[in-house]
Structure 1
Amino acid sequence: MNFLSYIYAFIIGVVVEVIGIILDIPSLIISILIYFIIAYFIGYPFLRMHLGKGNVKSTERFLLKSKKNPIYQLYYGLANGLEEEVDEAIQKINKRPYPSPVKKQHQLIHATFHGQIEDMEKLLKGMKRSTFTLYYQTIHSMLVNNLDEARQLIDRNPKLWMREALTAELLMKENRKEEAFNHGHVALLKTRGIQRYVLIRTWEREWGMLLNDK
């Protein structure tokens, strides 16, 4: 969280309170206004990164400022192919009191990043089925070169951005670069925030997929 957000919220809150007193506005209304001001300045940056489109540089700045949070550190490392960042982040996640499903999800992401097939299989077997596990089961099928199974799993995934991103990965594996780029662009149109950033940076780095989104 940007410290300036707290400063801005405090200053504007004080100004609103002073104006309210001068204009004799009921204290309840002043309190409600101050609450919404604080919620906006503190919550907006977080929501924008997760739900808003955001461009690459603004999302990257957010992740760099938030790297004390190991989950954000992990996503930054994933996007930029930084093994030390990813490994350090997963160690921190494992030590912190996150819920077990959250830890397993990020352990699966970590294992996938390193191409650790056996670890992926063990984790997937112990996780509740969801679009998330279906996504990584598809990646697992690609890693073991079971492309027919990967296609079947892609068709079963209800999320459009996941289908398009996985199709792009599959086509790239088959050396059909132009088609892969087309599906990749569709996936990016359907993603937001950090997920979009991770896809963009990964594809730029691995495929040379240059995008006008800086």
Structure 2
Amino acid sequence: MRLLPFIYIFIFGVVLTVALLFIELPFYLIYSVIIVVYIVLLVLPLMYTVYKSNNLKKIERFLERNKRKPIFAYALAVKTGNREEIIGAIQTILTKYKQPYMQEVYKTNLALFENNISLFEQLAKQISKEPLHTYYIAYSKALKGNFEGAHSLKGKLPAGWMPYAIDAIIAKEKGDLSAFRLAAEESIHLARGVQKFNLVYSFEWMGKEIEIN
């Protein structure tokens, strides 16, 4: 069934090419038009799902179709809440993607899920790009009980899901389930795409941890 939309797009491309040839447009112009059409019909919908969609079911279907890619497999592992599965997914990412920034971010995440808070804080400080540099340092301060420091850094984050995520982490560490849920809901509301998917299920198992404790 997944092939059907691509077949329709291919047929549309062929028909469009014939139509453009019929009106005797220059070859380079026909080629450019066809490339743009394919990008719009094939690439943009995928980019929208990954970065902008609010539809969790649609995002999950996309992740399932693309779970051979380690980053998408990681998102599905987060949904399970299984720490060992998440750690395994992160290790696969670190093996496959050697770009410095990817290594910085996912080594930091690995330390987080291994519950090595000291290493998590150390690696957070080494992240070379904003806003994740500030976000993870604020996260580490919240985990170490430095709520004032975490709150101060939160104010330096761009408007969006990150400041509310820090509020949720602070509330979790304080054991304040009501404040946690309010902050988590606002963070999820402001997030989009795969990031939204990750937050929904991360906050879900965090909330369960608060209830247990």
TM-score, length-normalised on structure 1? 0.82
CA RMSD in angstroms, aligned pairs only:
2.5
Structure with the bigger RCO (C-alpha within 8 Å, sep 6+) is: 1
Q: How many residues align?
A: 207
Structure 2 contact 143–173 (Cα < 8 Å) conserved: no
1:132: Cα distance to partner?
0.3
Task: Tell me whether 1:53 sits opposite 2:56 in the alignment.
Answer: no
Partner residue of 1:178? 178
Report the more deviating stretch, 19-28 or 39-48.
19-28
Partner residue of 1:90? 90
Partner residue of 1:212? none
Measured in 2, the distance between the counterparts of 1:139 and 1:203 equals 14
Cα deviation 1:60-119 (Å, max 9, x = unaligned):
111111111111212221243133432332232222253122112111122212322133
Q: Cα–Cα, structure 1 residues 98 and 46, in superposed 2: closer, same or farther, change >3 Å?
A: farther
* Percent identical: 25
Q: Which runs of 5+ in 2 are unaligned?
A: 209-213
1:199: Cα distance to partner?
0.9
Q: Cα–Cα, structure 1 residues 4 and 20, in superposed 2: closer, same or farther, change >3 Å?
A: same
Q: Cα–Cα, structure 1 residues 206 and 120, in superposed 2: closer, same or farther, change >3 Å?
A: closer
AA matched with 2:36:
F
Measured in 1, the distance between the counterparts of 2:8 and 2:106 equals 34
Structure 2 contact 51–195 (Cα < 8 Å) conserved: no
Partner residue of 1:151? 151
Partner residue of 1:133? 133
TM-score, length-normalised on structure 2? 0.82
Partner residue of 2:80? 80
Report the more deviating stretch, 111-120 or 5-14.
5-14
Measured in 2, the distance between the counterparts of 1:67 and 1:113 equals 20
